[in-house]
């Protein structure tokens, strides 16, 4: 068997990320004909896909169709291409991916079998690929992200962990470095719900805001020519959203005032300032949006060493 290439992929509802630093929206546009630009263009099974050109609606089960498999081909290509000479050749791949902790036990085997396939031929950005996905390791999200900070919290009696993603907020407790499985829960709210709320308020004023513009406004930047009260709408809505989210986390028995809380995920990074202002206890936001994907890759390497 050829040398195995491990690729950690975070299949988020808002964006797909790899441990190598690739990121794009979790979606694509299907094109009838080959376009002028080859940037992020995938040709697979006689179809053209513009990877990352749009975002799919939130999917609770990503194995029900081929969408996230197609997205993963673009992410794989971005991770293995030899930019120097464009030669790729046949590659054997081990994917390392993750699921929310609350769905992990129920969906682990289904997610794994969804990806394992041989003789997958496709063209990405004019380069031809032939890959074999020999295995897919599946790990709990958020816990994998915490690996990057594990040494700082492994000796503490209790740490709250909240992963604010695109579609959900997944939470659990770590006690002396060990996951308390009975503490796990998921709230059906994430950054995408915040975007949709703001977009509807802007439409009522006759303006169409994009998710990218909303993100920039929350971060204090100026992505539009006029304000027209939109900054106030964005910031007030983001603050209310965050306060409600923290309240819901507290209602599930998480003591946020006495125990340290670690926030991870793209939504946490976006709302970092608001989280720090509104959470009354010790708060840390892991600002690397690729931590889950990096954690998946680290765990896959450890698993292979034990074989």
**Which pLDDT does position 306 carry in this prediction?**
82
User: Measured between alpha carbons, how far is 20 from 23 in angstroms, rounded to an integer?
Assistant: 9
**Which pLDDT does position 19 carry in this prediction?**
94
- Under DSSP, the state recorded for 248 is H
Average pLDDT over residues 216-223: 91
pLDDT bin (cut points 50, 70, 90) of residue 278 is very high
Residue the block writes with tokens 């006689």? 46
CB under 8 Å to 159, separation ≥6 — which residues?
A: 153, 173, 174, 175, 259, 260, 261, 262
How far apart, in Å, do the first and last CA atoms of the chain sit?
16
**Which pLDDT does position 2 carry in this prediction?**
61
Burial of 209 (0-12, 13-18, 19+ CB in 10 A): buried
Domains and CATH numbers, the chain: 4-140 (3.30.420.40), 145-191+211-288 (3.30.420.40)
**Which pLDDT does position 150 carry in this prediction?**
77
**Which pLDDT does position 78 carry in this prediction?**
94
Do the beta carbons of residue 285 and residue 184 sit within 8 Å?
no
Average predicted confidence (pLDDT) for the chain? 92
Please state, in angstroms and as integers, the Cα–Cα distance from residue 76 to each residue in 30, 133, 304, following that order. Answer: 19, 10, 19
CA neighbor of 79 nearest in space, from 305, 304, 292, 293 = 293
**Which pLDDT does position 226 carry in this prediction?**
76
The answer to whether residue 43 scores a pLDDT higher than 60 is: yes
- Tell me the pLDDT tens digit for each residue of 222-271: 887 777 789 999 999 999 999 999 999 999 999 999 999 999 999 999 99
- Tell me the pLDDT tens digit for each residue of 154-205: 899 999 999 999 999 999 999 998 989 899 999 999 999 999 999 999 999 9
CA neighbor of 89 nearest in space, from 132, 51, 134, 125 = 132
**Which pLDDT does position 83 carry in this prediction?**
45
Q: How many CB atoms sit inside 10 A of residue 298's CB?
A: 18
**Which pLDDT does position 223 carry in this prediction?**
83
What is the DSSP track for 28-69? Answer: EEEESS--S--TTEEEETTEEEEETSS-PPP-S-TTSSSHHH
How distant is the alpha carbon of residue 287 from its chain centre? 13
**Which pLDDT does position 88 carry in this prediction?**
63
Average pLDDT over residues 2-22: 92
pTM of structure: 0.92
Dihedral of CA atoms 11, 15, 16, 18 in degrees, nearest 10, equals -120
pLDDT bin (cut points 50, 70, 90) of residue 279 is confident
**Which pLDDT does position 152 carry in this prediction?**
84
Q: Are strands 159-164 and 23-25 parallel, antiparallel or unpaired?
A: unpaired
Query: Angle formed by the axes of helices 211-218 and 191-204, to 10°?
Result: 100
> Strand (E) positions, 67-226?
90-99, 117-124, 127-140, 159-164, 169-175, 178-187
CA neighbor of 253 nearest in space, from 172, 190, 176 = 172
pLDDT bin (cut points 50, 70, 90) of residue 114 is very high
């Amino acid at each position: 068997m050829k040398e195995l290439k491990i690729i950690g992929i975070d299949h988020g509802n808002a964006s797909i990320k790899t441990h190598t630093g690739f990121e794009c929206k979790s979606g694509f546009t299907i094109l009838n004909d080959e376009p002028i630009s080859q940037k992020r263009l995938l040709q697979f099974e006689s179809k053209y896909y513009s990877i990352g050109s749009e975002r799919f609606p939130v999917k609770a089960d990503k194995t029900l169709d081929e969408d996230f498999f197609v997205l993963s081909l673009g992410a794989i290509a971005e991770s293995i291409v030899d930019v120097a000479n464009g030669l790729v050749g046949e590659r054997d791949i081990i994917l390392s991916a993750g699921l929310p902790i609350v769905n992990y036990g129920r969906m682990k085997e289904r997610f794994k079998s969804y990806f394992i396939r041989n003789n997958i031929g496709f063209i990405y950005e004019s380069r031809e690929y032939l890959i074999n996905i020999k295995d897919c390791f599946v790990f709990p999200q958020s816990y994998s992200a915490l690996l990057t900070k594990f040494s700082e919290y492994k000796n503490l009696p209790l740490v709250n962990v909240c992963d604010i993603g695109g579609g959900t907020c997944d939470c659990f407790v770590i006690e002396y470095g060990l996951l308390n499985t009975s503490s796990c829960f998921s709230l059906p709210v994430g950054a995408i719900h915040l975007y949709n709320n703001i977009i509807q308020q802007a439409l009522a004023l006759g303006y169409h805001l994009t998710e990218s513009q909303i993100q920039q406004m929350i971060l204090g930047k100026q992505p539009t020519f006029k304000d027209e009260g939109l900054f106030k709408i964005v910031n007030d809505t983001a603050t209310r959203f965050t306060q409600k989210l923290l309240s819901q986390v507290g209602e599930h028995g998480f003591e946020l005032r006495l125990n340290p809380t670690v926030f991870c995920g793209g939504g946490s990074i976006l709302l970092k300032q608001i989280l720090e202002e509104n959470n009354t206890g010790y708060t840390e936001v892991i600002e690397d949006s690729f931590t889950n994907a990096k954690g998946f890759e680290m765990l896959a390497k450890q698993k292979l060493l034990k074989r």
